[in-house]
Structure 1
Amino acid sequence: MQYHQLGKSDLHISEISYGCMSLGRDDADNARLVHQAMDGGINFFDTADLYDHGQNEISLGKALQGRRQNVIIASKAGNQWRPDGSGWDWNPRREYILSCVEESLRRLNTDYIDLYQLHGGTLEDPTDETISAFETLQQQGKIRYYGISSIRPNVVRTFAERSNIVSVMMQYSLLDRRPEESCFPLLEQRNIGVLVRGAVAKGLLIGKTPAPYLNYNEAEVTKAAAAIQQLSGAGRSAAATALRYVLQQPAVTAAVVGMRTAQQVQDALAAVRATPLTAAEIQQLRQVLPANLYEQHR
């Protein structure tokens, strides 16, 4: 396993990390998957208070009992469940963030969260108030570092310029190259790590039945998947090829991968051992389709 420093922090995280939203309701099954991932070298586990009404944090906390010192836990806040459970509302206020961390610490059964992330964001938010909350939590030792999870360039730019974030989680893949134009250069310049989600584009790049994705039609998605398959072989599966494309982008620190089965954990770990893409192969993939761009929130 390769480990990379996350931005300006002293966190060194596995380049393949665990997206815990994919975990189910069975604590024993979840523990087996988490332990399998840890045994394979994965040390970064990403959850959120939103996932399964907090049950995701509880299950992850149970799985990590006795092994907390060996892992880096990331969670998120900012989405407030309605009392009747019918949905959630956006709430980036200072008081709410400060209360959220207490509940996440309790559910995770830990004294601190390594990386605490704002789970979204808009330019209409009271950004300075939100930043103040994260800074306070850091000073109190309840979190070690903070970041954001957002695909909005204007939000990413605002936090990069006005806060001490060490990371941004965002969607990125061969079918979603929008961050290459507007976010990656800025984040790389400011030494802010990128945590990638969606590296296999909902499975469309690795064998799932083709369907339209973002601004690409079904035929274009098929073309991208075929290009991934063409560069796959004995030493590199389609999933590994898609992940290597993401991981070999200089701005990217890690790919956060959802894994629901033992086989999926095994496949994700195999990407670490896969033959790296050559510069020519990366260029070949980039030429398959015109790169898409962010049209909103620029």
Structure 2
Amino acid sequence: MSVTPATEPAPQGTPCWLELGTTNLPACTDFYAGLLGWEYQPDDSGYLTAHTDGVPAAGLYAFPDGPPLPTTWTLYLSVNNVANTAQRVTMLDGQVAVEPREIPGQGRLMIAADPTGALIGFWEPATMWPFAQGGAGAFAWADLHTTDGKLADEFFVSLFSFDTEQVGDGIDYDYTIWTLDGPSLLGRLRMGAEFEPGTPPHWMNYVGVSAALGVDLAATRAIQLGGRLHAEPFDSPYGRIAVIEDVAGGVLSLVDTSRRTPIAEEDIGTAAVDDPYDD
């Protein structure tokens, strides 16, 4: 599958950017270049835009000096007005973590926690904003792992008018897909006993690998590059998946969407769920 760049403004609530903040930018850039083939274009501030097949796929930046922060991937959703979104987040019992601010010539961003505590970014682009999706080295999917599925669904449905579809049984396996006028955009998983007690709500982001490489070889490559596995490669209805940790501690899922395996009805609620916070 080839990388697909955006050709028109993304509807509100659509994934539009991935960003890695880290205390070890050189090590992370080398790791992802070796793993995903990313090439980087720096700006004057040192912010790096990663490209796959010539299309922007993610941003990487170094945390400013100060107390050390964990290397973290942040997903951004497209909005028309971040100031209005910040107000609505607060009205819906979320919390603004990073106040709306302008990135000159590019747009405005804001980061907030939903009412269950997971952080999510919001991006108001000033111009057409290309974002690689659907191919090797490109964004493939994201799902929210949370302790309160109903509350998370209600928050994002109110914020973006998503429709929800339950794909589990809603009890032993509670996973909803959020759609907008048809297309599936994001997933939401209620964390169960398979997660360590106290695991905080968080987003899991998925980046594609080519069928020629495959997830198994990509996972091996991640280890060779100094990373480690949080979950060995496994089959799913969405593709073959592995969860990796980069050299600085950032957690990301790799997926080969050409390898889809349906889950038998009797296995619903028993499939392993990967916990990036379980060391």
TM-score by length of 1: 0.37
Greater Rg, structure 1 or structure 2? 1
TM-score by length of 2: 0.39
Structure richer in helix, relative to its length: 1
